[in-house]
């Protein structure tokens, strides 16, 4: 991803958490706490599903971005770092293609 926009977004989210700014939606979420953040993730997940069910998929990109944003807010709320999240993603990516071959069973014997 060019200039890792999600890492930059997470940096802004962490900055808002550490240095609240009046009128910031991110600060509002932190002020309201985990229940509000979790509620927003639920709402955005539902909206993502609905957008995915629409034939055109026109709104899907926006809904996915809203969902990602709120998940990053949750990660910051729990004190996770972007590096931790990225490291776990890399660890899981290493498993791709390393699936064990299915055993061949001779059903005729």
> What was the pLDDT predicted at 93?
84
> What was the pLDDT predicted at 16?
97
State the 10-residue block means of pLDDT for the chain, 109 residues long.
83 96 97 98 97 89 96 97 92 72 57
Beta strands in the chain (DSSP E): none
pTM over cut 0.75: yes
> What was the pLDDT predicted at 94?
82
Q: What distance in Å separates the CA atoms of residue 62 and residue 67, rounded to the nearest whole number?
A: 9
Quick check: 22 and 30 in contact, CB under 8 A? no
Cβ density class 23-44: b for 16+ within 10 Å, e for less: eeebbebbeeeeeebeebbeeb
CA neighbours within 13 Å on the CB side: how many for 33?
A: 1
> What was the pLDDT predicted at 43?
98
């Amino acid at each position: 991803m060019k200039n890792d926009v999600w890492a930059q977004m997470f940096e802004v989210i962490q900055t808002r958490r550490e240095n609240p700014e009046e009128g910031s939606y991110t600060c509002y979420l932190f002020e309201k706490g985990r229940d509000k953040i979790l509620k927003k993730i639920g709402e955005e997940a539902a909206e993502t599903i609905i957008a995915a069910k629409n034939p055109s998929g026109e709104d899907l990109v926006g809904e996915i971005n809203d969902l990602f944003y709120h998940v990053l807010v949750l990660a910051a709320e729990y004190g996770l770092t972007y590096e931790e999240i990225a490291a776990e993603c890399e660890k899981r990516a290493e498993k791709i293609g390393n699936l064990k071959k299915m055993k061949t069973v001779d059903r005729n014997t």
